[in-house]
């Protein structure tokens, strides 16, 4: 019988408790770089990163209730103090609650590809959402993405490479990644088992503002 999950108030961040743009120092109780993972899943990536980089504050965003509960329980049991997880819709959350130039890195790993053409509008990666992430990123901040879906990767790559304020850089594998992995998540291990290729991309926000034409 599966052990019931527990809520850990020191881990779970609730949208109803927020009012306007987030003060990350107040939320985490300490200053430090802020990394945001969109689509936390079971928190494999988030937990390993947080344990290996205690100086960084990690915020995980997850919409699926069962994954959110599992992630909060998992992080709470490990007593990882530099991690918060919120259950919310990522695009709206970024637009309403994340302040300009307040995030050091966005991690988006294996987002739902919505493979049917009529559902492509539901994909997280879009020009609108990329604009929001760019607004939130600090100058010199990074964006890292991975997917097993080749067509979706092509869309992501086109969006990122089409921006003059983003420079493609080397993808940095996760702390929990084992041999042959880049993220070390449950999703990635499932796809590797199914012989699916993982496509990755990383980009850095320019430290200077492009001149107006």
Is position 112 annotated as part of the catalytic site?
yes
Residue whose tokens read 């709470």: 76
Chain center to CA of 72: 15
DSSP secondary structure string for all residues of 137-150: EEEEEEEEEEES-H
Among the listed residues 100, 112, 148, 165, the single catalytic one is: 112
Rg from Cα positions in the chain: 17
Residue in 172, 166, 106 with CA at minimum distance from that of residue 133: 106
Which positions are annotated as active-site residues?
A: 112
């Amino acid at each position: 019988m599966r052990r019931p999950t527990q809520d850990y108030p020191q881990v779970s961040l609730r949208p109803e408790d927020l009012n306007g743009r987030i003060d990350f120092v107040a939320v985490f109780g300490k200053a430090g770089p802020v990394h945001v993972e969109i689509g936390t899943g079971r928190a494999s990536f988030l937990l390993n990163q947080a344990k290996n980089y205690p100086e960084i504050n990690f915020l995980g965003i997850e919409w699926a209730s069962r994954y959110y509960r599992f992630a909060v329980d998992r992080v709470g049991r490990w007593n990882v103090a530099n991690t918060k997880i919120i259950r919310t819709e990522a695009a709206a959350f970024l637009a309403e609650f994340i302040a300009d130039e307040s995030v050091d890195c966005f991690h988006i790993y294996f987002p739902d590809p919505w493979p049917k053409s009529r559902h492509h509008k539901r994909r997280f990666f879009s020009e609108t959402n990329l604009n929001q992430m760019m607004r939130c990123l600090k100058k010199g901040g990074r964006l890292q993405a991975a997917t097993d879906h080749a067509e979706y990767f092509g869309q992501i790559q086109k969006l990122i490479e089409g921006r003059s304020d983003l420079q493609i850089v080397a993808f940095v594998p996760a702390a929990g990644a084992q041999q042959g992995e880049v993220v070390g998540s449950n999703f990635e291990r499932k796809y590797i088992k199914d012989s699916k290729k993982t496509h990755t991309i990383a980009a850095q926000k320019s430290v200077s503002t492009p001149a107006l034409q």
